[in-house]
Chain A
Amino acid sequence: MPSNDRVVFVDGVRTPFGRAGEKGVYWQTRADDLAVKAMVGLLERNPNVPLAKIDEVAIAATTQQGDQGLTLGRTVALLAGLPQSVPGYAIDRMCAGAMTAVTATAGGIAFGAYDIVLAGGVEHMGRHPIGFNADPNPRFLAEKLVSSDALNMGATAERLHDRFPHLTKERTDAYAMRSQQKVAAAYAAGHIQGDLIPVANRTASGFGLVSVDEAPRPETTMEGLAALKTPFRAHGRVTAGNSSGLNDGATVALLASEKAAKELNLGIKMVMVSFAYAGVEPEVMGYGPVPATIKALDKAGLTIDDIGLFEVNEAFSVQVLAFLDYFGMADDDPRVNEYGGAIAFGHPLASSGVRLMIHLAHQFARHPEVRYGLTTMCIGLGQGGSVIWENPNYKGASN
């Protein structure tokens, strides 16, 4: 059964991301409906996909309760109108849920078990606040298996600052401001909108249409950032301004074996080269992308210099800077997060992995001189995940 076929990323879409909470655009919208709308939107724009030939539907969520419970991959598939013969399951690896949905199903494609899959994630942090109803085993703290900071993501970011004192608050603020500016520029250039599936949302003032992300703050200034509180530690460095926010949103990607994609004329936006996950101390979870990327590069037989475009999830500025610092890259390296990142777009936990892929795929089309790209993210409780992709539009290195 093992196949020699390559795994390709055919297409990916997402809902616009909203701000979590009562004032957010999706306060009255169900989490599963966000995933369903994204999935239907994706299938509508890929009419060549024979629905009955979809072999698996993997949908991730961190808090799998209520409207994010009940085996999302199956329920979302049924609600999206896929044939009953199409199976599905739910996935959780916290922030890397959608990324894991992609790599797990990619493994199935590579093995020859699947030809076509849908993989994505959803997180409605307004309805399901992070860690809500969690019941950590008391041994974690009693036996000092993890530091008490490990379960508070903001605290883990402060711990990264402690470990790397040269990554100053001024540098993280500057990085955050650039992220906001890059998102504004990407919107202005029209790089973002094409992959958004607008969502009609019910509000106290009637139905509306969400067609852009709610979270970006293009007006962000260094002065403004400097004035923000540091909620995770008195006189700390991590603020709401240099972190991703609490958000609602869903993403879905269509992956296939290269053979199926070609036979069905599905189009290929990216080819998967390798992936890897790796663990670090839970209290510095933001460092996870470093060992994960080292591992993924190793498996691909590549070095960091081979990577022409990076999509690094911006859970916190300091976590991106730690990654860049390790690989000797500048804070404002133009290859990194060309369209900005989660600090501006938002980070609906389990959905974000596919957002990175959507943006990398869009950049691949605009950068035929780039052969390889990387999507990477840190993961709560001390993990990192990295996927290396090849650009099918690659036309050889530019001069």
Chain B
Amino acid sequence: MTEYDTIDFADLLAVSGDEVVTHSLVRDVTLPSGKVLALVTLDNGIDHTRPNTLGPVSLLEFDTTLLGLAERAKHGEIAGVAVTGKPYILAAGADLSKVQDITTLEIARKLSQLGHRALGRLGELGVPSFVFVNGLALGGGLEIALNATYRTVDASAPALALPETFLGLVPGWGGAYLMPNLVGIENALKIIIENPLKNNRTMSAADALGFGVVDVMFDSVRFLEQSLAWADGVLSGSIKVKRPHEPSKAERLVKWDIAIKVARSMLEERLGTVAKAPHAALELMAAAKSGTKAEGFAREDEALAALISGDQFSASIYAFNLVQKRAKRPAGAPDKALARPVTKVGIIGAGLMARQFALLFVRRLRVPVMLTDINQERLDLALTYIHEQIASLHEKGRIGADEAKRLNALVSTTTNLSDFSDADWVIEAIFEELAAKQDVFADVEKYAPESAIFATNTSSLSVDAIGAKLAHPERLVGFHFFNPVAVMPLLEVVRATKTDDSALATAMETAKSLRKSAVITTDSPGFVVNRLLARLLGEAMHAIDNGTPLSVIDSGLKPFGLPMTPCELLELVGLKVGAHVLDTHYAAFPDRFYRSDNLHTLAEHGKLLARDKKGKVTGFDKEAEKIVSGGTTPITGEEFRLRVEDGLADEIHRMLDEKVVNGAEDIDLCMIMGAGWPFQMGGVTPYLDRVGASERAFGGTFHQPLIKGVA
């Protein structure tokens, strides 16, 4: 058993010089029964925009506070201890900026140990402990509650969660042991494994109550007053707390191992085995079935220490900061004061993309959106589709009846371009043909006001070329969405050579209003995401054409831990589109990109993978395998992986030299948000650095110092 009290935390505290300390403020509260309860308020002295976080100094203050309260409990001065937070926030978890600063495995272990010592005291006070979850409780914040004897929750608390595995960690301050032993293994797996996988889903207060994470929920108006009265009832024995989700003996004997097994195979299917954190969390929860709390805590100490000091966590924090911070303040964006107001949107086209744009613009901007096409029938179909989608949003309860009517009324169609005379923003969504795009913009320019900004959704044409027939090409900007438009968070905003600051600023503000994360790129082939995927898929087709079996290709990139294999990716983007993308990149950079006739033949055939009735991949399509057969110089999976790694490192290095984006960080942001590349890779560049691809490709690294673990 770990003797937490005798550990010297000086070296851990040393990395915490500038910690924003969450203080443990204590006041005695006399309950209606006359009993005295010590109420600890966690408060970092800053408003809700800087949530309480728990760094080493904060943990130690909490620890010392509870030690003092245990002493008072021993002398009979207090009948209980309760912990709550500052308004709206209990605590948002460990102070990640401090976790990043940890320099050795030993110090990493101490962070886990200090958490266990401090939070664990809630179970060793000699009197019952309560946590009144008054608001946000994430990670270590929720673990404070788990370590207490009883929990209440404010019905308005926005989110409770253990998101650690999303960031490459495990709930290592008791969460992995305590949660399944409180709410049962199946609920705990949902909270610790499944929710982080589902785009980091969190629990509402009602969810937490339903799972049994908390004992009782009160409305926000009198949350603290009612929690105190409830605590009085518990202390006095008039309220008996029932925990129906607490695992029974039968659950431990039978259900536990089965649930872990099911979760493991789900994890392997979704993520593979590369991402360490979820698997480590799963092992901790498997072991939490039996043994003591102290043993559980000791296992968490080791697991957390290994993860904190490992490569994947460093990359994950880097990725997390990109998504949380850089995505919100895009590099290279001009002063937003230059942005022009967008009060009416014109959309050229009536196809699937145009319809998706119309829906997105009208929902987010709530301004008139007008579609134009030469064919009234197509416009009518588009309008019907949009109205159906709005109706469906209403049926799902996503928007109210008044909002649905408002949106319906805002969307209109026209075959007459003069109706664009008051449009501030015109975006085209027609087929990828240069002349057509040039002509349509030249036409629109005759009618649209001089201040209007034009945007093209092209993925493969030059924005400069598209603007060639414009009198004012400086108003044209690239606005490249990813499919499906409503879901994918990335927008590549293309600054062509002639694009002016005002057009770019308007595009960036419009992207923000659409709730997309915009990355600014130059007008270069494929921008970022398509260019890198083309390089990757080009390597794949090259190897395939040379006789490498499809199965070798698909297993070759397993060490990346990507969301899908190369063949799955090809099918997702569409074999035709894939062939076209390879062609255009080959045309631009024939020395290092690859085009494949086989891919065109495959596109004609229509599929690459064999699937069962549910659409699950079962292997490769026999005919497809026949189409690509005949190569004579196959390579191994490892050779393929190295070629891809080196190819990506080379291409990114070139892109940075060409200043396609403002830095490697923007490349990573694009791959995370536009291609779903994992946090544990840090997008792509931290991974390429740590596996040596950067060294091999260009004799350097993208990051200095490297984004990698300390052990």
- Interface presence of A203 (CB below 8 A): yes
Within 8 A of A (CB), among B205-244: 219, 221-225, 228
Q: Are B27 and A207 in contact (CB under 8 A)?
A: yes
Within 8 A of B (CB), among A53-87: 79-81
B153 to chain A, nearest CB (A): 15
- Interface presence of A37 (CB below 8 A): yes
Contacts of A207 in B (CB 8 A): 27, 39, 41, 84, 224
Q: In the complex the two chains form, what is the Cα distance from A79 to B221 in whole Å?
A: 8
Of A36, A198, A206, which one neighbours B27 at CB under 8 angstroms? A206
Q: Are B39 and A208 in contact (CB under 8 A)?
A: yes
Chain A, Cβ-Cβ closest to B29? A209
Q: In the complex the two chains form, what is the Cα distance from A81 to B223 in whole Å?
A: 14
Beyond A202-B87, A203-B27, is A209–B225 a contact (Cβ under 8 Å)? yes
- Interface presence of B40 (CB below 8 A): yes
Q: Are B41 and A80 in contact (CB under 8 A)?
A: no
Within 8 A of A (CB), among B1-30: 25-27, 29-30
Q: Are A205 and B25 in contact (CB under 8 A)?
A: yes
- Interface presence of A199 (CB below 8 A): yes
- Interface presence of B666 (CB below 8 A): no
Contact with B along A26-68 (1 / 0, CB 8 A): 0000000000110011001000000000000000000000000
Beyond A206-B40, A207-B84, is A40–B221 a contact (Cβ under 8 Å)? yes
Beyond A200-B228, A206-B40, is A41–B222 a contact (Cβ under 8 Å)? yes
Q: Interface extent on A, as a size class?
A: 20 to 34
Q: Are B228 and A209 in contact (CB under 8 A)?
A: yes
Within 8 A of A (CB), among B46-102: 84, 86-87
Contacts of A79 in B (CB 8 A): 221
- Interface presence of B43 (CB below 8 A): yes
The residue in B40, B41, B222 that gathers the most chain A C-beta atoms within 10 A of its C-beta is B222
Q: In the complex the two chains form, what is the Cα distance from A149 to B74 in whole Å?
A: 60
Q: Interface extent on B, as a size class?
A: 20 to 34
Q: Are A206 and B41 in contact (CB under 8 A)?
A: yes
Chain B, Cβ-Cβ closest to A193? B32
- Pair count A-B, CB < 8 A: 54
Chain B, Cβ-Cβ closest to A209? B29
Q: Are A37 and B222 in contact (CB under 8 A)?
A: yes
Q: In the complex the two chains form, what is the Cα distance from A44 to B30 in whole Å?
A: 21
Q: Are A37 and B39 in contact (CB under 8 A)?
A: no
- Interface presence of A211 (CB below 8 A): yes
Q: In the complex the two chains form, what is the Cα distance from A41 to B30 in whole Å?
A: 19
Chain A, Cβ-Cβ closest to B82? A207
Contacts of A198 in B (CB 8 A): 225, 228
Chain A, Cβ-Cβ closest to B226? A44
Beyond A200-B228, A211-B30, is A206–B43 a contact (Cβ under 8 Å)? yes
Contacts of A80 in B (CB 8 A): 221
Beyond A200-B224, A207-B224, A208-B27, is A81–B40 a contact (Cβ under 8 Å)? no
Contacts of A41 in B (CB 8 A): 222, 225
Q: In the complex the two chains form, what is the Cα distance from A44 to B84 in whole Å?
A: 23
B218 to chain A, nearest CB (A): 11
Q: Are B27 and A40 in contact (CB under 8 A)?
A: no
Q: Are A37 and B225 in contact (CB under 8 A)?
A: yes
Beyond A198-B225, A199-B225, A200-B228, is A206–B25 a contact (Cβ under 8 Å)? yes
Q: Are A209 and B25 in contact (CB under 8 A)?
A: no
Q: In the complex the two chains form, what is the Cα distance from A206 to B225 in whole Å?
A: 14
Of B29, B39, B222, which one neighbours A40 at CB under 8 angstroms? B222
Contacts of A40 in B (CB 8 A): 219, 221-222
Q: In the complex the two chains form, what is the Cα distance from A203 to B86 in whole Å?
A: 10
Contact with B along A255-281 (1 / 0, CB 8 A): 000000000000000000000000000
The residue in B84, B87, B224 that gathers the most chain A C-beta atoms within 10 A of its C-beta is B224
Q: In the complex the two chains form, what is the Cα distance from A40 to B219 in whole Å?
A: 10
Contacts of B225 in A (CB 8 A): 37, 41, 197-200, 209
The residue in B219, B223, B225 that gathers the most chain A C-beta atoms within 10 A of its C-beta is B225
The residue in A80, A81, A203, A209 that gathers the most chain B C-beta atoms within 10 A of its C-beta is A209
Contacts of B84 in A (CB 8 A): 207
Within 8 A of A (CB), among B259-289: none
Contacts of A44 in B (CB 8 A): 222
Q: Are A206 and B221 in contact (CB under 8 A)?
A: no
Q: In the complex the two chains form, what is the Cα distance from A266 to B66 in whole Å?
A: 46
Contacts of B32 in A (CB 8 A): 211
A65 to chain B, nearest CB (A): 23
Contacts of A208 in B (CB 8 A): 27, 29, 39
A-B pairs, 4 with minimum CB distance: A206-B25, A206-B41, A200-B224, A208-B27
The residues of B with any CB-CB pair to A shorter than 8 Å are: 25-27, 29-30, 32, 39-41, 43, 84, 86-87, 219, 221-225, 228
20 CB contacts below 8 A, A to B, read: A36-B221, A37-B221, A37-B225, A40-B219, A44-B222, A80-B221, A81-B221, A198-B225, A198-B228, A200-B225, A200-B228, A206-B27, A206-B41, A207-B224, A208-B27, A208-B39, A209-B29, A209-B30, A209-B224, A209-B225
The residues of A with any CB-CB pair to B shorter than 8 Å are: 36-37, 40-41, 44, 79-81, 197-200, 202-203, 205-209, 211
